[in-house]
């Protein structure tokens, strides 16, 4: 027996906004790429809501892992941020 559910009818918002979310972003380790990636975050998150920005190099130093702690205002805002990060050629991965 199979049942079909309309995905638009599902309540997928398990988070209550506003909330603090830490976004992990991986990219090559150079100053220019860090500035580009940070500007992508800034395009979606207003300054008062970017609570922290930290970068840590990989063991060999080839990559950077950035953590952007953001006070997210909505799911739409976060979806836009993840789409921009995922679409950019400098970003290896965003989680």
Q: Which residue stretches of 24-70 are H helix?
A: 31-44
CA distance 82 to 18: 17
Report pTM: 0.83
Q: What is the reported pLDDT for 80?
A: 97
Higher pLDDT, 33 or 14: 33
Q: What is the reported pLDDT for 12?
A: 57
Structure tokens at 11: 């309540």
**Strand 91-94's sheet: what is its strand order?**
50-57, 63-72, 19-28, 91-94
- Mean pLDDT of the 14-31 span: 94
Q: What is the reported pLDDT for 13?
A: 63
> For the chain, how many residues are written?
95
- Mean pLDDT of the 19-44 span: 96
């Amino acid at each position: 027996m199979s049942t079909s559910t309309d995905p638009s009818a599902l309540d997928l918002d398990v988070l209550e906004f506003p909330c603090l979310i830490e976004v992990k972003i991986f990219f090559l380790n150079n100053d220019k790429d860090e500035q580009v990636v940070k500007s992508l975050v800034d395009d979606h998150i207003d300054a008062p809501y970017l609570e922290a920005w930290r970068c840590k190099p990989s063991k060999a130093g080839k990559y950077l892992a950035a953590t952007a702690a953001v006070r997210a205002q909505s799911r739409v805002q976060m979806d836009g941020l993840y789409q921009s990060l995922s679409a950019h050629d400098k970003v290896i991965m965003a989680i």
